Amino acid sequence: MASSSCQVDFYVVEDERKSVEQLACQLAMMAWEQGMRSMLLLSNQKQAEQLDSLMWSVPNERFLPHQLCCQTGQAPVTIGTAADLDHSVADVIINLSTELVPTPQRFRRLLELVPARDAERKASRVKFSAYRELGLQPKSHAMGRHTGNN
């Protein structure tokens, strides 16, 4: 669903023992429970396939209907790369990649996941500034001990 204004939220994982991938699964579950379609965006196909495997067990004791973008079907949660964005009908983009989501205004929500390791945060800082330059107003949320288990 396209929108004239995209809500951008950065979820900053504070604990290095916590996984942004598990947080992504939890956020996708929340979006699905609210009736929204989501796309989880990874840097490459191998990472997308690894997240697809993880989603079979996270969140615990729940099933989240999902599929890789290259598969046929209409699952409410898709997993892919930037190359798949043009075909996305998602309301929510959950970005685990280091890249900026192009034309984010076409989505209702954009959730940027920021890893705990400082060396991996540089790309997120760049994205935060770039979204501001696009006229969006990103918000930041510190994610402490509630981001999942490793």
Q: What is the DSSP string of 3-70?
A: -SS-EEEEEEE--TTS-HHHHHHHHHHHHHHTT--EEEE-SSHHHHHHHHHHTTTSSTT----EEETT
* Total domains present in the chain: 1
Kindly state whether residue 84 falls inside one of the protein's structural domains. Answer: yes
Q: What is the pLDDT of residues 48-98, one digit of tens each?
A: 999 999 999 887 888 899 999 977 778 999 999 999 998 888 999 999 999
Band of pLDDT at residue 147, cut at 50, 70 and 90: very low
- Find out whether 67 and 48 touch, Cβ atoms under 8 Å: no
> Residue 55 and residue 40: Cα distance in Å, rounded?
11
pTM, two decimals, is 0.89
Report whether pLDDT(145) > 60.
Answer: no
Kindly state whether residue 103 falls inside one of the protein's structural domains. Answer: yes
Quote the pLDDT of residue 73: 78
Kindly state whether residue 150 falls inside one of the protein's structural domains. Answer: no
Kindly state whether residue 138 falls inside one of the protein's structural domains. Answer: yes
Kindly state whether residue 1 falls inside one of the protein's structural domains. Answer: no
Angle between helices 45-54 and 20-33 (to 10 degrees): 70
**Which range of residues forms the domain containing residue 123?**
7-143
Kindly state whether residue 42 falls inside one of the protein's structural domains. Answer: yes
Kindly state whether residue 148 falls inside one of the protein's structural domains. Answer: no
Kindly state whether residue 91 falls inside one of the protein's structural domains. Answer: yes
CATH number at residue 128: 3.40.50.10110
